[in-house]
């Protein structure tokens, strides 16, 4: 527990003021460093970044560019106009659209992470939150849950807050995964020239975006982290072996 | 415990809030909103995207959107090997590639005269006929398409099964729109049906001891694959046809209307006695077959002498994109079009071999001789009716001259020519190996239609009937035996290199045999200067090999002047 906390704080203290919880669920012993690895950490970080982007994004509502929290405050102060209230539909639609990839990713492991969600919500006095309700929603019902339960900007903001808190709790509770994430970054720094060389070589078939690029970088990091002698021949060979590995 | 850890522990004890629940924001949305309104630094930090750990390249990975520009040959080769494609390619898909044997209408027993000696001076005969073969033979011994295409070969099906399982794993269980096993299963129940309907015209006469007969048919010929409506609907859907009838007409029926070959027969009344007549004849089959119209209810098919071109790269790109979860609808559509286009091309080539028949003997000139004998029965039977009864026998042999025909060939399957495992695993040979495998995919299932010098087999038949004929009524019953020996191929109009790769044995039309029961009756009406006979004839096949069991019925109008 102490070790877990030490690791967690040392990893996260520099990037967040959030008082992350160290979750105690037994399941963490099984998933940390295994199911939840550096890729999961990366995904969670991206998820957080997207949520924050969503919160800061301005939309034209009732003829004025406004953020979600601007409207939530108007709602709280009861100064919101009917047109602004109607704009909630667009916000929810955007949120569902943005959240869709995460729903697809999380649905298969929902049962597995339910104890973690429940613990996080309970310990944060958010047991009645929409996030907690999501754990009881049958597969495929996530979008419907959001659409039917988010009736105010406040509720939408609350869901974003809960998601940020939960993801931060997960990160702080998986030190092995965080370690692996940082190891990956360190390794990546070493092979960055190799990746660049490979991407400019003749055999490159992928753009800088997408799964294949992600897999390729992962493969390079895992297998060539200590090789700093980059040649075109080596990159071609590397690419070939990557492809073989990928499809066999 | 080292010093660093000890300091760490102290730090934890001093700063850790792990078990302390914050009741302030961010657990409380109101507090969060208040902090936001007041530009509280901590709240602004909470919602600030900020910079992640400098790994900008990771930011765009969700949702994934790989963009493929070209495909590495070595990857594809390894992928095909892993999927078990080599095992499939080493199986024979075509067990035979011959054209189905077919009996010429001119040799049908119902169109042969029932008397050795023709009337004086001349006659004209018209027969409206309907000939139906419900299950034509694909090969000498079988009317089951499994004898022609290996739709039920356990080794092929097992290899295909393994291939699809591996493909399914690769595609994460996504549904493959085109189900090859289903297509094969439906095809395995397919039969070949032939119909001929039309008129056979005969004319001729006798002058002293010489006689002449000319006959030719005008008819509609149709060959089609038969499937139950349910199977047809499913098959059509597999190939992207929403209208099963359109698929049927386009890919499963070949038909044409026109005249067939013409037979000219010169006979000499060699023996004329109280008890029998014998006529020796020479006849020629002149290739006059000509279609006035083709594809009336179906289509016509030609098999090119070249292999089809398939855009494999587009298929690989789509497959890899699908595996990466980024296959676009346009890619799906394109790959489906390429795949079905290829398979429909394969299907059309099979149609050309099995369905698209001419109306005659494929342009072969024939020369034959026949012997016809009528023996009066009253020489053996002392009964009043025996004086009106005779035993008619007609025996003939015909030689068809060589000619150029289209014959169908498949590439010889030779597993010994495949690269070894080491060669397959050599990246330097990847491009060569990929071309080899792609060619094998095409070669295994694409028939080539090549002009070939064909020596058809010798045709022989023997008709034997007992006929009764009084001044008005007449009837007969008997048997018919027909055979044609196996054809021979000589020169194929293609480059020697190509010919060397072909499996020639599979393309040879087998020998064929048919034994029928025939019967008929008629009524004769006499007018001044003309004797008219109206009759009905029919036959059924009792035994057969090489050709199907056909049934024929004719309505005969015979005029003697």
A17 touches B at CB < 8 Å:
yes
3-state DSSP percent of chain B in helix, strand and coil, to 5: 30, 35, 30
Report the run of H or E that residue B269 belongs to, with start and end. Answer: strand B262-272
Judge: A125–B21 Cβ closer than 8 Å, yes or no: yes
Q: In the structure encoding, which two tokens stand for residue B260, read together?
A: 């067939």
A residues 59-98 closer than 8 Å to B (CB):
69, 72-73, 76
Whether residue B159 contacts residue B139, with contact meaning beta carbons closer than 8 Å, is answered with no
Please count the CA atoms within 13 angstroms of the CA of B154 that sit on its side-chain side: 0
Q: Using CA coordinates, name the residue in chain A closest to B70.
A: A205
Q: Is B539 helix (H, G, I), strand (E, B) or coil?
A: strand
Residue B348's closest CA among B239, B256, B440? Answer: B239
In whole angstroms, give the CA distance from residue B379 to residue B399. Answer: 36
A185 touches B at CB < 8 Å:
yes
In whole angstroms, give the CA distance from residue B331 to residue B318. Answer: 6
Instruction: Quote the DSSP letter at residue B359.
Output: S
**A135 and A241 part of one domain:** no
Judge: A9–B22 Cβ closer than 8 Å, yes or no: no
* A138–chain B nearest CA distance, Å: 22
**A89 and A195 part of one domain:** no
**A141 and A155 part of one domain:** yes
**A70 and A134 part of one domain:** yes
A25 touches B at CB < 8 Å:
no
Count CB pairs under 8 A between chains A and B: 163
Alpha helix stretches (DSSP H) within chain A = 2-12, 27-31, 38-56, 68-77, 82-86, 88-106, 110-123, 130-134, 142-149, 153-173, 175-200, 211-224, 232-247
* A199–chain B nearest CA distance, Å: 13
pLDDT at B121: 86
Q: In the structure encoding, which two tokens stand for residue A17, read together?
A: 């003021």
Q: Using CA coordinates, name the residue in chain A closest to B61.
A: A210
What ipTM does the predicted assembly reach? Answer: 0.76
Which residue, of A143, A173, A203, is where some domain finishes?
A173
In whole angstroms, give the CA distance from residue B333 to residue B519. Answer: 58
CB atoms within 10 A of CB B273: 9
Phi then psi for B472, rounded to 5 degrees? -115, -45
In whole angstroms, give the CA distance from residue A239 to residue B431. Answer: 16
**Sequence-distant contacts of B379-382: CB under 8 A, at least 24 apart:** B379/B275
B162 touches A at CB < 8 Å:
no
Distance from CA of residue B334 to its chain's centroid?
A: 26
Report the run of H or E that residue B135 belongs to, with start and end. Answer: strand B122-135
B residues 352-411 closer than 8 Å to A (CB):
none
Whether residue B66 contacts residue A210, with contact meaning beta carbons closer than 8 Å, is answered with yes
Its domain, for residue A95, covers 2-173
- Rounded alpha-carbon distances, angstroms, from residue A162 to A14, A129, A132, B16, B268: 21, 8, 9, 21, 110
C-alpha angle B316/B71/A214, rounded to 5°?
Answer: 100
- Rounded alpha-carbon distances, angstroms, from residue B254 to A182, B296, B434, B451: 70, 8, 37, 20
B-interface mutation test, from A79, A106, A128, A161, most B Cβ less than 10 A away: A161
In whole angstroms, give the CA distance from residue B108 to residue B119. Answer: 21
Which residue, of A153, A173, A193, is where some domain finishes?
A173
Q: Sign of torsion, CA A145 A149 A153 A154?
A: negative
Please count the CA atoms within 13 angstroms of the CA of A101 that sit on its side-chain side: 14
Judge: A73–B18 Cβ closer than 8 Å, yes or no: no
Strand partners of residue B407: B450
Domain count, chain A: 2
pLDDT at B306: 85
In a structure prediction context, what are the per-residue pLDDT tens digits for chain B, which is 561 residues long?
Answer: 333 333 333 233 223 333 333 434 456 788 888 888 887 777 777 777 665 544 444 544 333 322 223 456 777 787 778 777 888 888 888 999 999 989 999 999 999 999 999 888 899 999 999 999 998 888 888 888 888 888 877 777 777 777 766 665 555 444 345 577 777 888 888 889 999 999 999 999 998 889 999 999 999 999 998 888 888 888 777 776 767 777 777 788 899 999 999 999 999 999 888 888 999 999 999 999 999 998 888 888 888 888 888 877 777 766 666 555 555 666 667 777 787 788 888 888 999 999 988 899 888 999 999 999 999 888 888 888 888 899 999 999 999 999 999 999 999 888 888 888 888 877 778 778 888 888 888 888 899 999 999 999 999 999 999 999 888 999 999 999 999 999 999 888 888 888 888 999 999 988 999 999 999 999 999 888 889 999 999 999 999 998 889 999 999 999 988
Average pLDDT, chain A: 74
pLDDT at B97: 93
Distance from CA of residue B44 to its chain's centroid?
A: 73
In whole angstroms, give the CA distance from residue B106 to residue B400. Answer: 13
Judge: B66–A213 Cβ closer than 8 Å, yes or no: yes
Residue from the list B32, B49, B79 with its beta carbon closest to the beta carbon of A161: B32
Residue from the list B33, B48, B326 with its beta carbon closest to the beta carbon of A72: B33
Residue A236 confidence (pLDDT) above 80: no
A29 touches B at CB < 8 Å:
no
Residues of A in contact with B47 (CB under 8 A): 52, 55-56, 69
Mean pLDDT across A25-46:
78
B residues 413-452 closer than 8 Å to A (CB):
427
Residue from the list B48, B66, B72 with its beta carbon closest to the beta carbon of A211: B66
In whole angstroms, give the CA distance from residue B417 to residue B531. Answer: 71
Instruction: State if pTM tops 0.80.
Output: no
Which residue, of A120, A149, A173, is where some domain finishes?
A173
Judge: B26–A164 Cβ closer than 8 Å, yes or no: yes
* B432–chain A nearest CA distance, Å: 16
**A216 and A153 part of one domain:** no
Residue with tokens 């997207």: A50
Query: Measured between alpha carbons, how far apart are the two ends of chain B, in Å?
Result: 129
Q: Using CA coordinates, name the residue in chain A closest to B78.
A: A244
* B260–chain A nearest CA distance, Å: 59
Q: How many helices (H) and strands (E) does chain B have?
A: 14, 17
Judge: B33–A73 Cβ closer than 8 Å, yes or no: yes
Residues near B182 by Cβ (< 8 Å), separated by ≥ 6?
B234, B238
**A10 and A120 part of one domain:** yes
B30 touches A at CB < 8 Å:
yes
Residue from the list A21, A46, A210 with its beta carbon closest to the beta carbon of B324: A210
CB atoms within 10 A of CB B262: 18
Using CB atoms within 10 Å of the CB of residue B431, give its burial: 0 to 12 exposed, 13 to 18 middle, 19+ buried.
Answer: middle
pLDDT at B163: 72
A45 touches B at CB < 8 Å:
yes
- Rounded alpha-carbon distances, angstroms, from residue B366 to A35, B109, B285: 80, 18, 5
Residue from the list B12, B37, B78 with its beta carbon closest to the beta carbon of A6: B12
**A73 and A132 part of one domain:** yes
Query: Measured between alpha carbons, how far apart are the two ends of chain A, in Å?
Result: 40
B56 touches A at CB < 8 Å:
no
Whether residue B137 contacts residue B101, with contact meaning beta carbons closer than 8 Å, is answered with yes
Judge: B66–A210 Cβ closer than 8 Å, yes or no: yes
């Amino acid at each position: 527990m102490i070790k877990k906390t030490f690791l967690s704080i040392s990893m996260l203290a520099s990037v967040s003021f959030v008082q992350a919880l160290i979750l105690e669920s037994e399941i963490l012993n099984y998933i940390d460093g295994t199911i939840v690895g550096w890729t999961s950490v990366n995904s969670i970080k991206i998820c957080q970044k997207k949520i924050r982007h969503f919160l800061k994004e301005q939309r034209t509502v009732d003829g004025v560019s406004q953020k979600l929290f601007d409207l939530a405050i108007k709602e709280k102060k009861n100064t919101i106009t009917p047109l602004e209230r109607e704009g909630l539909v667009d916000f929810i639609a955007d949120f569902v659209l943005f959240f869709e990839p995460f729903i697809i990713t999380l649905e298969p492991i929902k049962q597995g992470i339910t104890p973690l969600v429940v613990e996080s919500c309970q310990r944060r006095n958010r047991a009645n939150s929409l996030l907690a309700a999501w754990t009881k929603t049958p597969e495929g019902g996530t979008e419907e849950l959001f659409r039917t339960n988010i009736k105010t900007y406040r509720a939408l903001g609350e869901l974003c807050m809960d998601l940020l808190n939960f993801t931060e709790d997960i990160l702080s509770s998986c030190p092995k995964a965080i370690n692996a994430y940082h190891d990956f970054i360190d390794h990546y720094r070493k092979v960055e020239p190799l990746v660049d060389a490979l991407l400019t070589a003749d055999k490159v078939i992928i753009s800088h975006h997408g799964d294949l690029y992600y897999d390729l970088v992962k493969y390079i990091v895992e297998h060539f982290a200590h090789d700093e002698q980059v040649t075109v021949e080596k990159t071609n060979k590397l690419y070939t072996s990557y492809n073989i590995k990928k499809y066999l | 415990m080292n010093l660093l850890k000890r300091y760490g522990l102290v730090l934890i004890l001093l700063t850790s809030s792990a078990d302390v629940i914050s009741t302030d924001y961010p657990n409380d949305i109101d507090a969060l909103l208040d902090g936001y309104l007041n530009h509280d630094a901590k709240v602004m930090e909470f919602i600030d995207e900020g910079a992640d750990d400098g790994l900008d390249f990771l930011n765009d990975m969700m949702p994934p959107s790989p963009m493929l520009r070209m495909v590495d040959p070595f990857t594809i080769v390894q992928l095909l090997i892993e999927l078990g494609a080599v095992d499939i390619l080493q199986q024979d898909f075509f067990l035979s590639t011959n054209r189905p044997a077919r009996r010429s209408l001119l040799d049908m027993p119902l169109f042969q005269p029932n008397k050795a000696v023709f009337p004086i001076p001349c006659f004209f005969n018209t027969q409206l006929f309907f000939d139906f073969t419900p299950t034509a033979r694909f090969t000498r011994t079988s009317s089951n398409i499994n004898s022609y295409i290996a739709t039920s070969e356990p080794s092929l099906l097992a290899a295909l099964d393994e291939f699809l399982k591996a493909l399914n794993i690769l595609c994460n269980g996504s549904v493959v729109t085109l189900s090859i096993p289903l297509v094969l299963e439906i095809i395995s129940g397919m039969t070949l049906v032939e119909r001929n309907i039309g008129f056979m015209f005969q004319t001729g006469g006798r002058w002293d001891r010489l006689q002449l007969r000319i006959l030719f048919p005008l008819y509609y010929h149709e060959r089609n694959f038969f499937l139950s409506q349910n199977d047809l609907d499913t098959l059509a859907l597999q190939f992207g046809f929403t209208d099963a009838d359109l698929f049927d007409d386009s890919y499963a029926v070949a038909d044409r209307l026109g005249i067939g070959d013409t037979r000219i027969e010169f006979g000499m009344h060699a023996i004329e006695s109280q008890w029998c007549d014998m006529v020796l004849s020479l006849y020629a089959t002149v290739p006059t077959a000509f279609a006035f119209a083709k594809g009336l209810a179906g289509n016509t098919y030609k098999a090119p002498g070249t292999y089809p071109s398939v855009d494999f790269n587009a298929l690989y790109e789509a497959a890899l994109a699908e595996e990466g979860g980024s296959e676009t609808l346009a890619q799906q559509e394109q790959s489906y079009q390429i795949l079905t286009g290829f398979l429909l091309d394969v299907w059309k080539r099979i149609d050309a071999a099995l369905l698209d028949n001419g109306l005659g003997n494929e342009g072969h000139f024939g020369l034959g001789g026949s012997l016809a004998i009528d023996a009066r029965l009253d020489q053996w039977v002392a009964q009043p009716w025996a004086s009106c009864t005779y035993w008619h026998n007609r025996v003939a042999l015909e030689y068809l001259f060589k000619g150029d025909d289209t014959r169908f060939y498949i590439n010889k399957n030779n597993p010994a020519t495949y690269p070894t495992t080491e060669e397959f695993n050599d990246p330097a040979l990847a491009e060569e190996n990929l071309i080899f495998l792609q060619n094998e995919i095409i070669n295994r299932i694409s028939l080539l239609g090549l002009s070939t010098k064909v020596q058809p087999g010798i045709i022989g038949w023997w008709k034997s009937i007992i006929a009764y004929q009084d001044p008005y009524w007449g009837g007969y019953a008997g048997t018919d035996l027909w055979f044609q020996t196996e054809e021979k191929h000589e020169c194929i109009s293609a480059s020697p290199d190509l010919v060397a790769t072909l499996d020639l044995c599979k393309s040879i039309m087998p020998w064929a045999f048919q034994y029928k029961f025939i019967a008929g009756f008629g009524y004769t009406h006499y007018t001044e200067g003309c004797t008219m006979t109206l009759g009905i004839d029919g036959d059924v096949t009792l035994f057969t090999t090489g050709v199907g069991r056909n049934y024929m019925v004719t309505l005969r109008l015979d005029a003697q002047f």
